Chains A and B, each alone.
Chain A
Amino acid sequence: SHVLTQPPSVSEAPGETARVTCGGNNIGTESVHWYQKKPGQAPVLVIYYDSDRPSGISDRFSGSKSGNTATLTISRVEAGDEADYYCQVWDSSSDQGVFGGGTKLTVL
């Protein structure tokens, strides 16, 4: 089945730009969604269909895709952005959803 590869961790100082990557063989042909997950809370959708942002999500969050890699970019990082971030796609070859392993964002 499809595998999505994320770095285990990313660290940035407040005010800097954090980038979380998600690699997969077929990402170029699939829609990528991104979720923020904080301990004890339900996941929150922050980017859908590669680069669309739900209402209520800060415009500091953006998504992009190039080749086999999707990227979640968080500009002007704040302490409140500290969380685990997951990418997700639909694998049409196996008819299953797939999440990446998650990336822990630490705000220094």
Chain B
Amino acid sequence: EVQLLESGGGLVQPGGSLRLSCVVSGFTFRTNAMGWVRQAPGKGLEWVSFISGSGAATYYADSVKGRFTSTRDNPKNTLYLQMNSLRVEDTALYYCAKTKIPGSGAGGAFDMWGQGTLVTVSS
């Protein structure tokens, strides 16, 4: 059974940092690209980042570029999102998700999602 479990969310002041983790099981992690998607309270889904299976390729939404960094530790089956210079508008539920087709590029669909971890940025 495929499982994705996010952690690391919490309350942080504007300008602060957080590192989210996503531990996965049930599939060959290193062969699947992964992504982060967020949903602010009462808002729609927002694509945040993508990382290839090897970790060599990463892409980011304009809204987080230069502040967020996605990495992965394949032997540990873990995906990370380092979030720096956090803003009030980064407040959201953050989901990690796996691409459906191993080896698919950034245009692949996300077929499995975690339950999300809540990040609240507030003074």
Chain A positions within 8 Å of B, measured between CB atoms, are 1, 30-31, 33, 35, 37, 42-45, 48-49, 54, 84, 86, 88-90, 92, 94-102
Contacts and interface: CB of A to CB of B under 8 A. Distances in A.
Interface of B is mostly: strand
Nearest to A1: B62
Contacts of A1: 62
A99 B111 contact: no
Q: What are the 10 A-B residue pairs with the smallest beta carbon separation, nearest first?
A: A97-B47, A90-B107, A48-B109, A42-B113, A33-B109, A102-B44, A99-B45, A45-B111, A95-B59, A86-B45
Interface string B95-115: 101001000011101110111
Contacts of A84: 44
Given A84-B44, A99-B37, 4 more contacts: A42-B95, A43-B113, A45-B109, A48-B111
Contacts of A102: 44-45
Interface residues on B, range: 20 to 34
Interface of B: 35, 37, 39, 44-47, 50, 59-62, 95, 97, 100, 105-107, 109-111, 113-116
